[in-house]
Amino acid sequence: MNIFDTNSDHRQIHTIAETNRFLTKMYALMGGAVMISALVAYLTMNVFSTALMNLPATIIWLILLVPLGLSLGISFKANRNPAAALVMLIFLAAIYGFEFALIAGFYTGTQITSAFISAATVFIAMAIFGTFTKRDLSNWNSYLSAALFGFMVAWLVNLFLRNPAVTYLFSFIGVIIFTGLVASDANKMKAIYNNYGDQLSSNGLAILGALQLYLDFINIFMFLLEIFGGNGNRRN
């Protein structure tokens, strides 16, 4: 949900240097979240693997649901209490790292590395485009959000049907949707800061932008992992 009108005639209030500092902070927070996820995934697989195997299934399912609540919490708290939102972002990244450790056992190291490098390359390219383009990408966000809603409904239906071919096809569609969202979200956060940064906490906006971009990256990575591990090439 976009509560800001990026097409408004609100006067730009920040210098290029101020905007660059904001963007640097946002991307640093996003990169830090990715690093936390990678570190937690590594520690879970290599240091705490025995404890992981002994966790009750109920606890694992609860942990899988935590990111949804944390994402909502960050969205509501980012501008009211940036410090609390930052703590929740760190916790969210750690939870996703734990979840990656659960998933990683189904893939080879080569597949995981290939998916991560590909996701990082796609993310960097689209983030640069979204940040520096002179075009207004707000229409992208509207269309992609609608496409994402329809995609999630179809994905949930297929979750019960368990059709491997459809799952594989959905992975490509997911990559396309979230690749577009990287550019539109980067463009949107820059516009919000330029137009409303005097009314809102810049730290809060940076955390909110980092959350959106982090989730975009994670989804691209997961769908690419499904693609690289598809067609029966997963680890048995």
pLDDT at 54: 67
Q: Select the highest-mean-pLDDT range: 10-19, 55-64, 109-118, 144-153.
A: 109-118
Contacts of 194 (CB under 8 A, 6+ apart): 12, 13, 14, 19
pLDDT-based confidence at 6, cuts 50/70/90? Answer: low
- Report how far residue 94's alpha carbon sits from residue 91's, in angstroms, rounded to the nearest whole number: 5
Question: Is the predicted pLDDT of residue 12 greater than 60, yes or no?
Answer: no
Tokens of 30: 């996003």
Ordered by start, the domain boundaries in the chain are 16-228
Per-residue pLDDT, averaged over 69-86, amounts to 91
Q: Select the highest-mean-pLDDT range: 58-67, 114-123, 165-174.
A: 114-123
pLDDT-based confidence at 236, cuts 50/70/90? Answer: very low
pLDDT at 7: 54
Contacts of 151 (CB under 8 A, 6+ apart): 170, 173, 174, 177
Alpha helices, DSSP H, located in 47-137 = 49-53, 57-77, 82-104, 109-132
Q: Which long-range contacts (CB under 8 A, 24 or more apart) does 5-11 make?
A: 6/136, 6/138, 6/188, 6/191, 6/192, 6/195, 7/136, 7/138, 8/195, 10/195, 10/196, 11/195
- Report how far residue 19's alpha carbon sits from residue 210's, in angstroms, rounded to the nearest whole number: 15
